[in-house]
C-alpha cells in the first residue's frame, strides 16, 4: 500500500496508531521530523515508518518500513483506516427528517436530528453526522463527509470527496448593504450560491457566503482551516491552503497553490497570483500580479523588503544615536572652520 521496504520482523502485527514518543507494543508510528529521531531508538512501537534516507545511529528494536516520504505514507494508512470506519456507518438514524422529494444514493449514513430538504441530492457513500441541515436543492457528491452541526443553505453544490467539519456554514448571505441618503442601509438580496469542488476540506466554524449573483467558488483540492471567512463572489483557486482566522473579502480571486498564513486578511475586488505565499497576520490591500512570490506585513509587500525594513526598525535607536553623533561632529567641524577663517 505504501511501497515500503521492510527491515526487521516481517510478521510484526499492529492494531492501532501512536506517536513515536508514546507508542506501545502493537502500535504503528512514523518518523519524519529529525528532532524526534532520539525516540526511534527507545520507542515501544512494533512498527515504525521512516524515510529511505534515514541513517541509524544505533540499533532499533522495532520493525522498520522505509519509504520515500514517511509523513505521506503514514497519511495514506490513516486515510485507509478512516475509510474502513466510515464504511461501517450506513443507515438513517431517528429522529431525523428527510423530504420525500430528496434523492439519496447508496450506502448513505444520516445521523439523528439531521434535516434533508426538498430536492436535495445526496451521492453515494455520503456520511452526514447528527444535527446537519441540508437546504432545498443542495447537491452533495459521492464520499463526502459532513460533521455535526454543518449547515448548507439552499442551492449550494458540494463536490465529491469533500470533508466539512463541525459548525461550518455554507451559503449564508453575503455582507451586501447599500448605503441610503438617510444614513441607513438597504439589504442587497444574495441570490447566488456556493460551489465547492472535489477533494476540498474545510475546518470547523468556517463561513462561506453565497454570491450576490453567480457563485462563490472553492476550487478542487483547496484546504481551509478553522474559523475562516470567505465572502460573497470570492473565487479560491485549486490546491490553495488558508490557515485559521483568515478572511477574504468580496469578489476577490485567489489563484492556484496560494499559501495564506493565520490571521491574514485580503480586501475585496483584487486578485492574488498563483503560488503566492502570504505571511501570517498580513493585510493585503492590492492585487498581487507576479506569481510564486512572498508578501508580508500590513499593508503587505515583498517579503524580503519586509525583513530588511524590520531589521532597520529594530536598529532605529542605534541609528538615531549615530545620526546625533554625526550632527555633533559636523557642528564641531563647522565651528573650527569658522574660527580658522
Whether omega for the bond prior to residue 299 falls within 30 degrees of 0, making it cis, is yes
Percent of the chain past pLDDT 70, that is, above it, reads 100
Say how many domains are in the chain.
3
Q: How many CA atoms lie within 13 A of 205 on its CB side?
A: 5
52-61 pLDDT per residue, tens: 999 999 999 9
Q: Which of 87, 121, 147 is the last residue of a domain?
A: 87
Is residue 309 situated within a structural domain?
no
Same domain, 12 and 133: no
Q: How confident is the model at residue 242 (pLDDT cuts 50, 70, 90)?
A: very high
Boundaries of domain holding 326: 314-340
Cell of 76: 495514506
User: Cα 337 to chain center, whole Å?
Assistant: 67
Residues 262 and 181 placed together within one structural domain of the fold: yes
Residue positions annotated with a catalytic role: 232
Question: Is there a domain that residue 208 lies in?
Answer: yes
Phi/psi at 117 (5° precision): -85, 180
Q: Does 310 score more than 80 pLDDT?
A: no
Residue 341 has pLDDT above 80, yes or no: no
Question: Do residues 63 and 53 make contact, with C-beta atoms less than 8 angstroms apart?
Answer: no
Assign residue 72 the CATH number of its domain: 3.40.1390.10
Report whether pLDDT(301) > 80: no
Does one domain contain both 138 and 234? yes
Amino acid at each position: 500500500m505504501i511501497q515500503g521496504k521492510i527491515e526487521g520482523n516481517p510478521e510484526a502485527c499492529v492494531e492501532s496508531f501512536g506517536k513515536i514518543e508514546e507508542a506501545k507494543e502493537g502500535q504503528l508510528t512514523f518518523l519524519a521530523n529529525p528532532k524526534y529521531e532520539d525516540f526511534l531508538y527507545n520507542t515501544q512501537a512494533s512498527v515504525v515508518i521512516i524515510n529511505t534516507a534515514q541513517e541509524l545511529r544505533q540499533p532499533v528494536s522495532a520493525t522498520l518500513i522505509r519509504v520515500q516520504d514517511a509523513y505521506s505514507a503514514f497519511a495514506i494508512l490513516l486515510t485507509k483506516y478512516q475509510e474502513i470506519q466510515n464504511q461501517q456507518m450506513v443507515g438513517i438514524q431517528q429522529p431525523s427528517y428527510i423530504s420525500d422529494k430528496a434523492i439519496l444514493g447508496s450506502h448513505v449514513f444520516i445521523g439523528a436530528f439531521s434535516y434533508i430538504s426538498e430536492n436535495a441530492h445526496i451521492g453515494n457513500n455520503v456520511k452526514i453526522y447528527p444535527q446537519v441541515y441540508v437546504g432545498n436543492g443542495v447537491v452533495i457528491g459521492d464520499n463526502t463527509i459532513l460533521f455535526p452541526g454543518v449547515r448548507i443553505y439552499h442551492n449550494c453544490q458540494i463536490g465529491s470527496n469533500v470533508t466539512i467539519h463541525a459548525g461550518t456554514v455554507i451559503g449564508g448571505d453575503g455582507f451586501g448593504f447599500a448605503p441610503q441618503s438617510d444614513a441607513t442601509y438597504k439589504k442587497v438580496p444574495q441570490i447566488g450560491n456556493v460551489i465547492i469542488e472535489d477533494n476540498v476540506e474545510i475546518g470547523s466554524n468556517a463561513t462561506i457566503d453565497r454570491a450576490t449573483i453567480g457563485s462563490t467558488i472553492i476550487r478542487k483540492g483547496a484546504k481551509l482551516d478553522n474559523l475562516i471567512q470567505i465572502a460573497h463572489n470570492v473565487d479560491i483557486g485549486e490546491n490553495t491552503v488558508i490557515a485559521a482566522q483568515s478572511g477574504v473579502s468580496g469578489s476577490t480571486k485567489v489563484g492556484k497553490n496560494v499559501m495564506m498564513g493565520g490571521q491574514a486578511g485580503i480586501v475585496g475586488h483584487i486578485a492574488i497570483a498563483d503560488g503566492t505565499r502570504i505571511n501570517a497576520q498580513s493585510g493585503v490591500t492590492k492585487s498581487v500580479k507576479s506569481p510564486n512570490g512572498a508578501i508580508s506585513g500590513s499593508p503587505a509587500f515583498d517579503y524580503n523588503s519586509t525583513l530588511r525594513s524590520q531589521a532597520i526598525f529594530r536598529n532605529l535607536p542605534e541609528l538615531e544615536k549615530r545620526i546625533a553623533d554625526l550632527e555633533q561632529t559636523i557642528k564641531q567641524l563647522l565651528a573650527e572652520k569658522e574660527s580658522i577663517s
